[in-house]
Amino acid sequence: MAFETLFTPIQLGSLSLPNRIIMAPLTRSRTPDSVPGKMQEAYYGQRAGAGLIISEATNISPTARGYVYTPGIWTDAQEAGWKGVVSAVHAKGGRIALQLWHVGRVSHEMVQPDGQQPVAPSALKGEGAQCFVEFEDGTAGQHPTSTPRALETDEISGIVDDYRQAAERAKRAGFDMVEVHAANAYLLNQFLATGSNKRTDQYGGSLENRARFPLEVVDAVVDVFGGDRVGIRMTPFIELFGLTDDEPEAMAFYMAEQLSKRGLAYLHLNEPNWAGGDITFPDGFRAQMRERFSGSLIYCGNYDAERAEARIGENTTDAIAFGRPYIANPDLPERFRVNAPLTQPNHETFYGGDEKGYTDYPFMDNGYDRRS
């Protein structure tokens, strides 16, 4: 089966992509000092055949962290490390975006600088949420999150500035685009959702107020990169880390309209079935998003090539992002092109460790015969 649509070039904002196969952001927890290095250069360079690589979620500040061994973009060393990664991708003809991340309440004092409390829109713990910490004996593992403190109104502008500075560093490092992480029950998603945002100031209450902070972040990043080089990731309808929302569809539509006004390059919707379930968006949701958002739409959630081709053919999306298939198949587009079997990833090596399960997955044999 030929997947012709997947290999049709696409314009994402002002960036031209040779195909519609996007590498989704994938936390791999392999930067113990938060600085990308040679392993990351090899890993991302191997996957440069993607239409666009979206980097693993990258902390914008020391207080943005909820998981040890994840990379940052707030120091000169981190910026230099990412510059090496970008150069490795560009050397192989690829394109790469940096995903900007703040976990909010999905954290613990053990991960925060000076043992301070994590921050959130409201002092509400995410029930059942786990973060990833380093214990006193030097081992690392999951640990329940702690109760956050509510951000003071006058603190929010400081976090907006953290995003701005992170975007400035990303631009200096040479990234082609940046993606604002407003998904998966992290800080910006916590502000959007009714269950985690109980504020009574201008950042809480109404739908417009709950969206205010995420949109201020978008504005700050657009000031640096221009809207045509900025994307955003969202997860309408998701219930994760104790997050709930009474108005997910209304908020998704409102955000789509507001993001269109800002000329964003793309809106990346991470579907609730990203964990392998069979939850789908409400009937008509994708068509409504197409009407409300003027940029490109990307969907991600347990897709294979056949489903991706069909989804694009419906004209409700422009590209599809692949996560787990990209872990084990660095040459994923070429495998799709010739309809070759996919290597299955080893779940035990998803997080932490060294090259094993990271840069050692095989490339397809160049002698592979096409199948009808």
- For residue 173, the number of C-alpha atoms closer than 13 Å in the C-beta half-sphere is 31
Q: Which residue of the set 69, 163, 186, 266 is catalytic?
A: 186
**Mapping DSSP to helix (H, G, I), strand (E, B) and coil, where does residue 67 land?**
strand
361 among known catalytic residues: no
**Mapping DSSP to helix (H, G, I), strand (E, B) and coil, where does residue 219 land?**
helix
DSSP string over 178-210: EEEEE-TTSHHHHHH-TTT----STTSSSHHHH
Q: In angstroms, rounded to a whole number, what is the distance separating the alpha carbons of residues 283 and 287?
A: 9
Question: What crossing angle do the helices spanning 156-173 and 207-225 adopt, rounded to 10°?
Answer: 30
- Angle CA(229)–CA(230)–CA(236) in degrees, nearest 5? 150
Q: In angstroms, rounded to a whole number, what is the distance separating the alpha carbons of residues 299 and 257?
A: 18
Which of 66, 51, 70 lies closest to 321 in space, CA to CA? 51
Which pair of tokens denotes residue 301?
């959630």
The DSSP code for 363 is P
Q: In angstroms, rounded to a whole number, what is the distance separating the alpha carbons of residues 153 and 112?
A: 21
Q: In angstroms, rounded to a whole number, what is the distance separating the alpha carbons of residues 230 and 215?
A: 13
Cβ atoms 98, 58 nearer than 8 A: yes
Q: Where are the beta strands (DSSP E) in 60-136?
A: 96-101, 119-120, 130-134
Task: Please list, residue by residue across 226-245, b when 16 or more beta carbons sit within 10 angstroms of its beta carbon and e when fewer do.
Answer: ebbbbbbbbbbbbebbbbeb
Cβ atoms 81, 37 nearer than 8 A: yes
Which residues are designated catalytic?
A: 186
